A and B are shown apart, each in its own frame.
Chain A
Amino acid sequence: MSTRSVIVFLLVVALLAAAPFVVYPVFLMKALLFALFASAFNLLLGYVGLLSFGHAAFFGFAAYVSAHVVKVWEWGPEGGIVAGTAVAAALGLVFGWLAIRRQGIYFAMVTLALAQMVYFVSLQASFTHGEDGIQAVPRRPLFGIVDISDNLSLYFFVAVVAVAGMLLVRRAIHSPFGEVLRAIRENEQRARSLGFRVDRYKLLAFVLSAALAGVAGSTKILVFQLASLSDVEWMMSGEVVLMALIGGMGTVWGPALGAVVIVAMQNYLAQFGAMVTILQGIIFVAVVLLFRRGIVGEALAFWEKRRKAGAADDTASATLPERQGKAAPGE
């Protein structure tokens, strides 16, 4: 098992290394960062069963913070990412602390309401420059020495950040902490009766998810050299839900793949204008009605069915089926 995942990992690395020579690097960077954003979001939706409808706040506000400290305070890109992530984590702590007292639709509504407040702040605060956003954010050298001003070198930095972030999500899912989260999702009352402080586990998951969404948002401003309202809007919160659902929530790599699909659609179908939104809507409805497990989820289910039908070697239990979907984040 271990050697195979190493091979898969090396393949993905090779693919990611070769990709910018074939595909436009800016598109790849966007896809990778949204893949990280969707994976972070899915940690909450797929593994705790909490539907946040306010994740744009972490993504978008981290972008503002990162852009501000890089442009105005003249910090390096790494400083921008750290600052953006820290603020996103702090926001996550506040959001989470307030929202996890409620369940289901009420949880979603609390997160949405709080995210709208962050949107309002982003619109009104002077440092965000309202409708203009923070423009022309410089690409300073990484750690003061590594030049990332051209798209290709920036790409490699972004790829490392995004992949590291996604691996952290994956690790969290397969950690002792992730095991407790699973138990909580399966039967919260029982988890409480066994002595687990359920709210604290949920809160940590929320903060982790928010922080990693912040990593994605604060790295994004290096790519586009811009922090704008569109990243902090409620539509962005909806888009990340869509990404997770299309790819397959509750699978490790599904949301990343879903993100790539959505970003690719927006990119390559941009010429059709409003059609993109309509197409997204149709795909969303189709996924919810027909492929509820999402792309990776359906693929895993299909593979699992074939495996069961195919052979009698039932020795390996189905505890880690997610590993199979590992080829997601490259395209």
Chain B
Amino acid sequence: MAEVAIRTENLSVSFAGFRAVDGVDLSVEAGTIHALIGPNGAGKTTCFNLITKFIRPSSGRIWLGEQDITALEPDAVARLGMVRSFQISAVFPGLSVLENVRVALQPTLGVTFQFWRSNRILRRLDDQAMALLDRVGMAAVAGERAADLSYGRKRVLEIATTLALDPSVLLLDEPMAGMGAEDVAMVANLIREVGRNRTILMVEHNLSVVADLSDRITVLQRGQILAEGSYAEVSSDRRVIEAYMGEEVTDA
């Protein structure tokens, strides 16, 4: 049996009596790109927040590899190598593009608590940060304030920042949302490339991207798993087609 990167067992959470995620048993195989899809309000993002510990589950357990992470804090999960992106682009707006990436690299120097030292030492990380920016095609705008970037560019920067941690497991929450066609192709390539030696779990509305990238797809509806399988399997599933009927399906 293949190695499992993320596993949840009977994962549930309720908000004021409403079961947003209801008994989800998810299993993400290591080294694959796994997509989480479903109509609006199906609990995809809530699932993400549960797995990355930004929300506490009402019941159920979560494993990262062999380790039970049910009781951990979000930053601890990140240090274990599972890093997420956010649905609403999460950059540090007042920092430059380079500084955004550099701050994520900073723990590798082991100086993050050193308040008596000049921040000039951080220049040692500049090359590494530039290399990451170069990889996502943003080296030319390294000096710009992140706040001044276009929406799509912010998302790309977010991915670059995430990659700075060299995570083994990457959770991408709608990486393509609000992006222009050009950026979508670029980010899709980027995801495919970084997914070669990592596990990726992503929520995405753009079904052509999902079809193109994912090894496996889990369809959620009303907080429960409706179907699971390859794109061909899932897209021919009658229940899935029904769930999507009347729903707006983004295709580009």
Contacts and interface: CB of A to CB of B under 8 A. Distances in A.
Interface of A: 168, 171-172, 174-180, 182-183, 186-187, 189-198, 200-201, 204, 208, 317, 319
Contact of B112 (A180, A187, A190): A180
Contacts of B239: none
Contacts of B115: 171-172, 175, 177-178, 204, 208
Interface string B101-131: 0111011010111111111011000000000
Contacts, number: 109
What 10 A-B pairs come out closest when comparing CB atoms? A195-B78, A186-B92, A177-B115, A172-B115, A190-B90, A176-B111, A195-B79, A183-B103, A175-B115, A192-B75
A295 to B, nearest CB: 21
B155 interface: no
Nearest to A174: B119
B112 A177 contact: yes
Interface of B: 52, 54, 73-75, 78-79, 83-86, 90-96, 99, 102-104, 106-107, 109, 111-119, 121-122, 143, 161-162, 165
Contacts of A186: 92-95
Given A176-B112, A177-B115, A204-B115, A187 B99 contact: no
Contact of A190 (B92, B107, B111, B114): B92
Contacts of A187: 90-93
A200 B73 CA distance: 13
B92 A193 contact: no
B121 to A, nearest CB: 6
13 contacts: A171-B118, A175-B114, A176-B112, A179-B122, A180-B106, A183-B95, A186-B93, A189-B86, A194-B75, A194-B162, A195-B75, A208-B115, A317-B96
A317 B83 CA distance: 30
Given A180-B103, A193-B78, 20 more contacts: A172-B115, A174-B118, A174-B119, A175-B118, A176-B122, A179-B103, A180-B112, A182-B95, A183-B92, A186-B92, A186-B95, A189-B54, A189-B90, A190-B90, A193-B83, A195-B78, A195-B83, A196-B112, A201-B113, A204-B115
B94 A182 contact: yes
A166 to B, nearest CB: 14
Contact of A178 (B73, B109, B119): B119
B83 A168 contact: no
Given A175-B118, A204-B115, A194 B95 contact: no
Contacts of B79: 195
Given A193-B78, A194-B104, A319-B96, A175 B116 contact: yes
Contacts of A196: 75, 107, 112
Nearest to B112: A180
Contacts of B52: 193
Nearest to A320: B119
A176 B96 contact: no
A196 B117 CA distance: 19
Given A183-B103, A193-B52, A193-B86, A176 B121 contact: yes
B93 A198 contact: no
B168 to A, nearest CB: 13
B75 A179 contact: no
B46 to A, nearest CB: 15
Contacts of A194: 75, 78, 83, 103-104, 161-162, 165
A105 B112 CA distance: 28
Contacts of B114: 175-177
Nearest to A315: B143
A187 B158 CA distance: 12
Contacts of A193: 52, 54, 74-75, 78, 83-86, 90
Contacts of B78: 192-195
A180 to B, nearest CB: 5
